[in-house]
Every structure is written in structure tokens, then in C-alpha cells.
């Protein structure tokens, strides 16, 4: 189903040997090392410590980072290929991978100082440590300009105060990129991004969220009380934080679109296999037209989602404007993921409602792709703005 040739905007896009090798490596890793225990980790909401360590060893946590900083030096297309394959099996692991690659490593490499790259990026890219991206707050989700976390300028350092919510890798990260308001009068132009390390005085990790899906991932609230952050830990010029966050999220949406694609494809593949094994009314349920129509529509929508994801990745690699393409990919792929996983449960019937058959987990995991890194409604706003540029 995953074609190695894509027609994008009049361009014939053939996957390179390296990209094909990435797909095979990610698929093998997912099936041999992520699949065993995936249901148990979901049930217990257990962070996949050993699996994340292996992702680092295999190069999945710093795929796009330059080899100069310990990364794989790969393109975005390779990254989304790996994200899809890993998400077909374990979306909790893929969101950890997505945040570290798309939001933390990419943001640091693109906008960080050389000192910041040497100190933090080299360890993040190899998986020695993992990172977290801290934007959302109790009253600042989709409205990212309403930052209540403050970073008061104290001369040689900032004094950080506030609370962040829904932070992926919140308890397991060692490096945190924190978006905070320095100058309220300047509104979004008075926002900065600061690098905070675990263990700093005044920094506390709140309770782990008991989530519907991606349960093995580590989602926490974070509290900052008079945390002293040195000026050299600010990314970019004073007031660059909002632009940093938006630029980083634009790329992050491609990763989440690839995650949604993988969740949908994983559910589809299990439903297709089940339909050829399950018997009803004297024949395989696949031989019933009602099931054939469901699977045909699933296959078509998933392939369409894949084209959108690959297009956005390709545009990013070519340094073209990918904002609209990323928003379209995330919007469509996440909608397909929610719909396709529900259909996969329906095809499984009663068996789809129990955890042993995996598809109910895919359905629970799919929902978050319509919410984080920009809700579906926000994606529509982004797309609409781009239409009239």
C-alpha cells in the first residue's frame, strides 16, 4: 500500500535507497522491539524507558540533526517515514520521538546559538537525554499569545514563574524549552523561549496525567517558582519566543500528521488481516461487500493522507513555504486516523472492543492527533489565512 513513487505538484518523487532503508529499519524495530509489551505499557501507563533508549541508539531521536551535533543528517521525508512505521505499532513511543525531533532538536538547531547546540543539542540528538517543548498553559492552549508564565528580566538572568500544562516528556525530559512572557506591553513580541534544565531550584514536575490515549507517554504539568535562567539560555533575540514557537510548531505538525497516518495505517492493516481470517455466514468477512467497501475507503483515504504528509515534508526539505501543506496534512491525516480506527473497531466487531486486538487502542490514540500541536479547528484557520496571502 505504501508506494515508493509519488507524484507531487508535477514532480516525480522516488524514495531514495536511504529512505527505503529507513522504512525497513523503523518497521523492523517497531515489530520486534515495540510490539512486545505495547498493550501492557498502555494498561499501566508505563513510560517506555528501554524502548526510548533503543530509539536513541538507532538514531530515531535526532534524525534531522546535522552529524556535526550527533544527529543522522536525514531529510524530513525520512523522518515521516520512520514516524509512520513506529506509529503503526506504538503511538506513545512515536509522540516521544516527534517532540524530541520536531520541536526540541529542530528548534535548537535552527535558532539556537552555537554554545546552546554544543551544550544541549548534541545530547538530545543521540538520545542521551530527551527534551520537552513547553507552550500550553491552563489558559493558553490554542491561543498561544496568552502566556501567563512570566520571565522577568533581571539583568544577567530571567526569573521564571508560572505553570505549563499537557507537556509531553514532562517527567522524563532533562531539557525544557519554555515559552514565557517577558514584556506584557509588547504582547506576542515580548515573549521569549528559555532553555531550562531539570533539577533547577524552583522547578517542579506535577502529577502525571491519566490520559485516554498515548498512555505510555509522559504528560505532566510543570511549575516554575522564581527559577533563575541565565541570559545565555534564551533562544534568539529578545522577543523572538513567539516566532520561535510558531515556526517550530509548523514543522511539528508534519510529525504529528505522520503519527496520525501511522495510527490509521496500523489499524487498517490489522482490520484487513482480521477480515481475511474471520468467518461469518459461511465465508470470510472480507468477501462481504460491506466489509470490502469499508476497507477500500480506508485504503484510499490513508493513501491520500500519505501524499499530503509526504508533500509537506518535501516542501520543508526544499526550503519552500510549507505552512499550508503542513496544516492540510495534519488536518486531513488526523481526521482520517479518527475515522479509520473507528471503522477498524467496527470491522472487528466485539473483538475490536477488547484490548487484545489492538484496534481499540488505536482509536483512543487517534483522538489526540486532532488536538495537540494545533487542533483541527486551528489548522482550518491556518489554511484559510494562507489561501488569501
Q: Do 349 and 252 fall into the same domain?
A: yes
Q: What is the tens place of the pLDDT at every residue in 68-126? A: 999 999 999 999 999 999 999 999 999 999 999 999 999 999 999 999 999 999 999 99
- 11 confidence band (pLDDT: 50, 70, 90): low
pLDDT digits 0-9 by tens, 253-267: 999 999 999 999 999
Domain that holds residue 214: 132-241
Q: Give the pLDDT confidence of 286-306 residue by residue, as tens digits.
A: 999 999 999 999 999 999 999
In a domain, 218, yes or no: yes
Are 212 and 163 in the same domain? yes
Residue 9: inside a domain? no
Is pLDDT above 80 for 5? no
Domain boundary among 203, 224, 241: 241
Residue 2 has pLDDT above 50, yes or no: no
- Is residue 97, in this structure, part of any structural domain at all? yes
Do 75 and 166 belong to one domain? no
CATH number where 223 lies: 2.40.110.10
pLDDT grade for 14, boundaries at 50, 70 and 90:
confident
Residues 210 and 279 in one domain: no
Clarify whether residues 24 and 123 are in a common domain.
yes
Strand partners, 164: 222
Residues 234 and 249 in one domain: no
Q: Among residues of the chain, what percentage have pLDDT more than 70?
A: 97
Query: 117 and 177: one domain?
Result: no
Render pLDDT for 20-40 as a digit per residue (tens, 0 to 9). 999 999 999 999 999 999 999
Q: Are residues 229 and 267 in the same domain?
A: no
Q: Across all residues in the chain, what is the average pLDDT? A: 95
- pLDDT score at 3: 45
Does the residue 62 lie in any domain?
A: yes
Which residue in the list 85, 373, 377, 386 is annotated as catalytic?
A: 373
pLDDT tens column, 335-387: 999 999 999 999 999 999 999 999 999 999 999 999 999 999 999 999 999 99
Residue 200 has a pLDDT of 97
pTM: 0.95
d(CA 116, CA 108): 7
Count helices and strands in the chain by DSSP H and E runs: 13, 11
The answer to whether residues 268 and 231 belong to one domain is: no
> Residue 142 and residue 138: Cα distance in Å, rounded?
11
- Residue 69, domain CATH: 1.10.540.10
Pick the more confident residue, 342 or 140.
342
How far from 169 is each of 174, 176, 232, 233, 348, CA to CA, in Å?
Answer: 9, 9, 24, 20, 33
Report residue 13's pLDDT band, with 50, 70 and 90 as the boundaries.
low
184, 215, 241 — which closes off a domain? 241
Q: What mean pLDDT do residues 313-328 have?
A: 97
Q: pLDDT band for position 166 (50/70/90)?
A: very high
Query: Which of left, alpha, beta for 150 (phi over 0: left; psi -120 to 50: alpha)?
Result: beta
The pLDDT-based confidence of 145 (bands split at 50, 70, 90) is confident
Asked whether residue 1 is assigned to any structural domain, the reply reads no
| pLDDT > 90? residue 223 | yes
Mean pLDDT of 196-214: 97
373 is catalytic: yes
Residue 278 domain-assigned? yes
Average pLDDT over residues 297-319: 97
Say what the pLDDT of residue 1 is.
44
Whether residues 379 and 254 share a domain: the answer is yes
Query: How many domains are there within the chain?
Result: 3
pLDDT digits (tens, 9 = 90+) for 32-64: 999 999 999 999 999 999 999 999 999 999 999
Specify whether 253 is located in the same domain as 200.
Answer: no
Whether 164 is in a domain gets the answer: yes
319-324 mean pLDDT: 96
Question: Looking at the structure, do residues 137 and 126 belong to the same domain, yes or no?
Answer: no
Residue 8 lies in a domain: no
CATH of the domain at 278: 1.20.140.10
Last residue of a domain, one of 88, 107, 130: 130
Amino acid at each position: 500500500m505504501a508506494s515508493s513513487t509519488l507524484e507531487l505538484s508535477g514532480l516525480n518523487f522516488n524514495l531514495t535507497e536511504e529512505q527505503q532503508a529507513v522504512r525497513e529499519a523503523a518497521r523492523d524495530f517497531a515489530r520486534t522491539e515495540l510490539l512486545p509489551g505495547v498493550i501492557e505499557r498502555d494498561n499501566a501507563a508505563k513510560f517506555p524507558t528501554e524502548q526510548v533508549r533503543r530509539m536513541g541508539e538507532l538514531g530515531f531521536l535526532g534524525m534531522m540533526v546535522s552529524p556535526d551535533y550527533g544527529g543522522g543528517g536525514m531529510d524530513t521525508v525520512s523522518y515521516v517515514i520512520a514516524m509512520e512505521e513506529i506509529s503503526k505499532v506504538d503511538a506513545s513511543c512515536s509522540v516521544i520521538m516527534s517532540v524530541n525531533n520536531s520541536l526540541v532538536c529542530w528548534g535548537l538547531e535552527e535558532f539556537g546559538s552555537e554554545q546552546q547546540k554544543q551544550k544541549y543539542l548534541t545530547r538530545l540528538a543521540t538520545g542521551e537525554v530527551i527534551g520537552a517543548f513547553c507552550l500550553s498553559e491552563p489558559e493558553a492552549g490554542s491561543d498561544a499569545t496568552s502566556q501567563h508564565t512570566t520571565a522577568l528580566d533581571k539583568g544577567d538572568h530571567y526569573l521564571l514563574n508560572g505553570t505549563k500544562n499537557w507537556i509531553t516528556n514532562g517527567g522524563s525530559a532533562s531539557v525544557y524549552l519554555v515559552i514565557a512572557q517577558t514584556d506584557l506591553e509588547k504582547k506576542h513580541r515580548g515573549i521569549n523561549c528559555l532553555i531550562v534544565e531539570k533539577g533547577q531550584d524552583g522547578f517542579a514536575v506535577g502529577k502525571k496525567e491519566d490520559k485516554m490515549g498515548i498512555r505510555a507517554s509522559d504528560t505532566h504539568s510543570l511549575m516554575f517558582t522564581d527559577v533563575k535562567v541565565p541570559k545565555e539560555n534564551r533562544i534568539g533575540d529578545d522577543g523572538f519566543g513567539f516566532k520561535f514557537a510558531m515556526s517550530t510548531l509548523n514543522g511539528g505538525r508534519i510529525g504529528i500528521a505522520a503519527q496520525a497516518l501511522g495510527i490509521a495505517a496500523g489499524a487498517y492493516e490489522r482490520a484487513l488481516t482480521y477480515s481475511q481470517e474471520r468467518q461469518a455466514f459461511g465465508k470470510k468477512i472480507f468477501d462481504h461487500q460491506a466489509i470490502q467497501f469499508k476497507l477500500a475507503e480506508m485504503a484510499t483515504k490513508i493513501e491520500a493522507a500519505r501524499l499530503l504528509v509526504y508533500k509537506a515534508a518535501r516542501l520543508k526539505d526544499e526550503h519552500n513555504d510549507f505552512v499550508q501543506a503542513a496544516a492540510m496534512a495534519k488536518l486531513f491525516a488526523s481526521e482520517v486516523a479518527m475515522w479509520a480506527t473507528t471503522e477498524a473497531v467496527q470491522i472487528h466487531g466485539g473483538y475490536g472492543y477488547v484490548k487484545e486486538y489492538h484496534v481499540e487502542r488505536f482509536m483512543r490514540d487517534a483522538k489526540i492527533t486532532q488536538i495537540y500541536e494545533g487542533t483541527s479547528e486551528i489548522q482550518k484557520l491556518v489554511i484559510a489565512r494562507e489561501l488569501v496571502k
